[in-house]
Structure 1
Amino acid sequence: MPLGSSKYVAAFDLGTTSARVIIFDEYGSPQAACQRPLTQIFPKEGWVEQDPMEMFRQQLACFKGALSDLNILPSDISAIGITNQRETTVVWEKATGRPIYPAIVWQDHRTTEQCEALGAHSLMIRERTGLKLDPYFSATKIRWILDHVSGARAKAQAGELLFGTVDSWLIWNLTGGRRHMTDITNASRTLLANIRTGRWDEELLGMFGVPVSMLPEITPSCGALAESDPEVLGACIPISGTAGDQQSAAIGQACFRPGMTKNTYGTGGFLLMNTGKTAPLSDHLLSTVGWEVGGDRSYALEGSVFIAGAVVQWLKDGLGLFRTSAEIETLASQVQDNGEVYLVPAFVGLGAPYWDPFARGMIIGITRGTSRAHIARAALESIAFQCNEVLQVMAADTGAPVEELRVDGGAAENDLLMQFQADLANVPVVRPVVTETTALGAAYLAGLGIGLWEDFSEIESLWRRERIFEPKMSQDRREYLTKQWHRAVARTRGWEQ
C-alpha cells in the first residue's frame, strides 16, 4: 500500500487506437497504468469512425484498472489531466447524452469535396485558424453529420445538439453532463476558432453551417476547469488540466523554450516546434496553440504525418508479416539496408508538407531479391522519411535549424528507427526516460492546475534523458536516400480520382 502522503495525478489519455490511464506521483514518475484497445470502423474507402460510447466505457475501465494496480481509491487521486486524439468529431443530444452518429475520426477523408468547394476561402481560413482547409479538421465533419443524419440540422438549430472533440465528450460524461468545455489547444484544431483571439469565429461558423449553440466553452489548458461526478468515478476529483495529445506531449517533453522540437511516433507522426508568442503562417505546416497556462499563451508550428506507427500495424494485421509490432525491429535488422525498396504509406492521403488527400500508398523497387525484411525495413524508414520532410520545412520556415529532436510514443522505443531518424535528419535524437509523454504532459497540466507543481521550471527539472542517437550517416548517402524517397512520393501524388 503506498504512503498516504503521496500525491497522485491520473492522466486520461483517449487516443486513436487505445484508451489509457497512467497514474503519476509528485515526481512525474508513472506508478500504475491500464490500457484498452479502441475499435476503428472503416465503413467505406477513406472513412474512419469510432463508437463514442465504447471510448468512454474503455476510459472508465482503464481508470478502475489503474487504481486496482496501485491499490488505491478514487479519492486518493488529487487531480485528473485529460489528453486526446484531436479533430475527431462527436455530436450528441444535449438531453440524453446519446451520440447521433459515430465519432468521425481525424483520419477520415469523406469531406474532401466539401473542402475543395470552399477553396476560395482557404487563405482567410489559414490566417484566422493557422490551419489548412483540409478534411483532417473538425468543421467539415460537423457539417457532414448535420447534413446526413435525419433531422440533425433542425435539432442543432433548436439548441438540442452538442459538438465536441474527444476531450469535450469525455469531460461532459465525467461530469455527468454538467460541463461542456474544450481547452484552447483542442479548439485550435477545429477550423472554427481564431487562434489569436482564442474565441469561436462567427464568420467561420456561418461558412461551415455550425450553430454556435453546439459549441463548448473554450478554456485555458489548466486551472479549476471541472470536477468529476462522484456517481461516475466514485469521488469528486478536480479535472484541472487538458490539452490535445500533441501539445500535451510537447509539455511532457518540457519543450518550453522557442525552437525546442518534439516528435511523437504514434498512429501518426506529429512534430511540434515551440514558436513562443508568435503564430507564424506557413504554406506547408500548421500554426496551432501550444498551451495556455497562467494567462500566457504559447504557439507552435506543427507538421502532421498521417501514417507512422499505423504502417507497422498494417504490416502486422493486414499482411501478417509478424505477430506483434515489436517484432518489426528484429525482422528489419536482418538486412543491411532497404534493398532499394521504398514504401510510401499514403493510406489516407499525405499530410504535411504535401496535404494531398488524393495520394495513395505504394511500394516500389521490388525485385526477385526483395524479402519480408526489406518490406519491414522500408516501412520503418518511411516513418523517418516523412518526419524528416517536416523537419526540413520547419527549419526553412523559421530560419532556424532544429538543434535536437526529442522523441516519444510507442515507435520511439525502436532503436533502429531512432538511429535512422537521426541519420536522415542529421540531428541528435533524444529519447527520455518516460516515453509516454502525452499522458505525462496531461498530468503536468493537472498538477499545475492544483498547485502540485509551481511552474514550468519545476517541471523542466523533472525531465530525464534516457539515450541520445547521434547521426552517423555520410552526407552523400543521406542525399541519395532523400532523393529516392522524393521520387517515390511523386508517384503516389493525385492517384485517387
Structure 2
Amino acid sequence: MTQQYVGAIDQGTTSTRFMIFDHDGAEVARHQLEHEQILARAGWVEHDAQEIWSCTQDVVKGALESAGLTAADLVAVGITNQRETTVVWDRRTGEPYANAIVWQDTRTDKIAAVLKAEHGDTICHRSGLPPAAYFAGGKLKWLLENVDGLRDDAEAGHAIFGTIDSWLIWWLTGGPATDDRPEGRHVTDVTNASRTMLMDLESLAWDDELVEILDVPRQMLPEIASSSEEYGLTVADGPFGAEVPVAGDLGDQHAALFGQVCFEPGELKNTYGTGNFLVLNTGEEIVRSTHGLLTTVGYKLGDAPAVYALEGSIAVTGSAVQWLRDQLG
C-alpha cells in the first residue's frame, strides 16, 4: 500500500507553519515563517492578512518540497489558528478592508465596557464570554464603526468577516469567484465561533439577539460547521497544486486540548506559548463559571454532540520574550 499523509496548517500569533505527518503520527516535514507584528499605536496589535496568506502558501510548498511529496500524497489537511483575530475582506476581490485586529489588541476596551454595562449578563449567558476586548465581536464592531464604506459593503453582501481559519479556508477553496469556479467556502468551526460573543453555546448558531446587540450585519458572518468534516477541496492553482480535502478546523487552544488527548470530563491541558491557556474538558455539559473562567466549546466531531470546556488564560507570557528580543535587539 502507498504511504499516505496528512497535513496541518498551524497559523499562530507570531508565525505560520505547515507540518506533514505519516499514518503513524510521525512528523516527516515542516516549514515555518514568521510574520510582522504591526504595533501602530499603544494597545494596538495588527497583522497583515495578505502576508499571512502568503506565508501559508510558502510554508505549504516548502514542507511538501522538503519531504519530496505532492498533494497526491495527502489524504487531507487541517487548520488550527490563533483565535479571535479578526479579518474583514471584500469577497469580490479578496482584499482586506484593514489590517487584521489581533486577539491581543485592546482598542475595543470602551466598546467592551459599554457592552458589559448594558448587556453583560445576556452576552455572558448566551455566549459563555464576559464582554472584553479579547473577543472577535467587539473587534468587528470597531471595524464597522471606523472603516469607511465597510458597513455599506457589509449590508450589500460584499464585505465578509472571519477569524483566521475562515480567511484561510476561503482562499484555499477558491477565493473570489471567477468565470471558471465558484467562490471559496466562507465557513468557521464551532470553537472559533464560540470566541466571538455572537454564537449561542447551546444552539451552536449565531444568536439573533447578540448579533443585534453588537450591530453586526448578519450576512457578514460565516457558516458555522463542526471541527471535523470536509469543508471543501483546495484548488489546483493554490499552494497544494491539486485538490486536497480541507477536513479539520479548530482554534489553537481547542486543538491543543484534543491533541493532548483530553477526551474525558475533568481532563485538562495547559499551553505555554504567546500566552498561557489552561483548558478543562467538561464533557457535554455547559458549565458556567462563577470565578472568572470562560465557558467555551472544546470541540465538535462531525455529527457527535459538542464537547464543552472551561478556560483560564493569561494573554502575555511568551510574547513578552519576543517583544524584548525585537525591541532590545
Give TM-score scaled by structure 1 length.
0.63
Q: Distance in 2 between matches of 1:94 and 1:318?
A: 37
Match of 1:8 in 2: 5
| Residues 163 and 216, structure 1, Cα contact 8 Å, conserved in 2 | yes
Point out the structure with the larger helix share: 1
1:248-291 CA distance string (max 9 Å, x none): 01111001011111011111111111000112111311011011
Q: Is residue 309 of structure 2 the alignment partner of residue 303 of structure 1?
A: no
Match of 2:29 in 1: 32
2:237 alignment partner, SS class: helix
Match of 1:203 in 2: 209
Q: Distance in 1 between matches of 2:14 and 2:28?
A: 23
Q: Distance in 2 between matches of 1:171 and 1:224?
A: 11
Match of 1:139 in 2: 137
Q: Distance in 2 between matches of 1:84 and 1:264?
A: 14
- The residue type equivalent to 1:291 in the other structure is Y
1:458-485 CA distance string (max 9 Å, x none): xxxxxxxxxxxxxxxxxxxxxxxxxxxx
- TM alignment of 1:121-132, pairs within 5 A: 121-132=119-130
Deviation at 1:138, TM superposition (A): 0.6
Q: Distance in 1 between matches of 2:237 and 2:152?
A: 33
Q: Distance in 1 between matches of 2:50 and 2:233?
A: 20
1:372-413 CA distance string (max 9 Å, x none): xxxxxxxxxxxxxxxxxxxxxxxxxxxxxxxxxxxxxxxxxx
Deviation at 1:311, TM superposition (A): 2.1
Q: Pick from 221, 228, 231: which aligns with 2:227? A: 221
Number of aligned residue pairs: 317
- The residue type equivalent to 1:60 in the other structure is Q
Deviation at 1:81, TM superposition (A): 0.5
Deviation at 1:301, TM superposition (A): 0.5
Match of 1:336 in 2: none
- TM alignment of 1:58-457, pairs within 5 A: 58-119=55-116, 120-177=118-175, 178-232=184-238, 233-283=240-290, 284-294=292-302, 295-320=304-329
1:231 alignment partner, SS class: coil
Q: Which runs of 5+ in 2 are unaligned?
A: 176-183
Deviation at 1:191, TM superposition (A): 0.6
1:35 alignment partner, SS class: strand
Q: Distance in 2 between matches of 1:138 and 1:207?
A: 14
1:147 alignment partner, SS class: helix
- The residue type equivalent to 1:293 in the other structure is L
Q: Distance in 2 between matches of 1:266 and 1:316?
A: 15
| Residues 83 and 242, structure 1, Cα contact 8 Å, conserved in 2 | yes
Point out the structure with the larger strand share: 2
Stretches of 4+ aligned residues off by more than 3 angstroms: none
Give TM-score scaled by structure 2 length.
0.94
Q: Distance in 2 between matches of 1:245 and 1:289?
A: 12
Q: Is residue 65 of structure 2 the alignment partner of residue 57 of structure 1?
A: no
Deviation at 1:231, TM superposition (A): 1.2
Identity %: 48
| Residues 75 and 234, structure 1, Cα contact 8 Å, conserved in 2 | no
1:65 alignment partner, SS class: helix
Task: Name the larger-Rg structure.
Answer: 1
Deviation at 1:317, TM superposition (A): 2.7
2:224 alignment partner, SS class: strand
1:27 alignment partner, SS class: coil
Question: How much is the aligned-residue C-alpha RMSD, in angstroms?
Answer: 1.1
- The residue type equivalent to 1:184 in the other structure is V
Deviation at 1:315, TM superposition (A): 3.1
Q: Is residue 41 of structure 2 the alignment partner of residue 44 of structure 1?
A: yes
Q: Distance in 2 between matches of 1:84 and 1:208?
A: 24
1:215-255 CA distance string (max 9 Å, x none): 10000111222111111120100001110000001111001
Deviation at 1:176, TM superposition (A): 1.1
Mean CA deviation greater in 46-55 or 112-121? 112-121
